[in-house]
Amino acid sequence: MEFSRLYENLSKWFPSPSECAGAYDIPVIAPTSEPDVTEWIPFNDLSKPFKATQGIHMFVDDYRMKRLWAQPDRYLAILELAGCVASPDFSIYQDTPEALNIYCHYMKHWLAAYWQSYGIKVIPTMGWGTKKSFSWCFDGEPKNSTVIVSSIGWGKEKDIRGFLNGYDAMLEKLTPSKILFYGQVFDECRGNIQKINPFYNIVAKRRKGKADACDEFATIP
In a domain, 103, yes or no: yes
Give mean pLDDT, residues 205-209. Answer: 51
In a domain, 15, yes or no: no
Q: Which pTM was predicted?
A: 0.87
In a domain, 57, yes or no: yes
- Give me the DSSP letters along 171-182: HHHH--SEEEEE
Average model confidence (pLDDT) across the chain: 88
Give the total number of structural domains in the chain. Answer: 1
In a domain, 8, yes or no: no
Going 172 to 146 to 167 to 16, the CA torsion angle's sign is: negative
Predicted confidence (pLDDT) per residue in 31-72, tens digit: 999 999 999 999 998 888 999 999 999 999 999 999 999 999
Lowest mean pLDDT among 1-15, 92-106, 111-125, 128-142: 1-15
In a domain, 60, yes or no: yes
The model's confidence at residue 154, banded by pLDDT at 50, 70 and 90, is confident
State what percent of residues in the chain have pLDDT above 70.
85
- Which pLDDT score, from 0 to 100, does residue 106 have? 98
Distance separating alpha carbons of residues 12 and 26, to the nearest angstrom:
16
Q: What is the CA radius of gyration of the chain?
A: 19
Say if residue 203's pLDDT is above 60: no
CA–CA distances in Å: residue 210 to residues 50, 73, 199, 216: 22, 38, 17, 10
In a domain, 12, yes or no: no
Question: Residue 181 belongs to what domain range?
Answer: 27-218
In a domain, 141, yes or no: yes
In a domain, 187, yes or no: yes
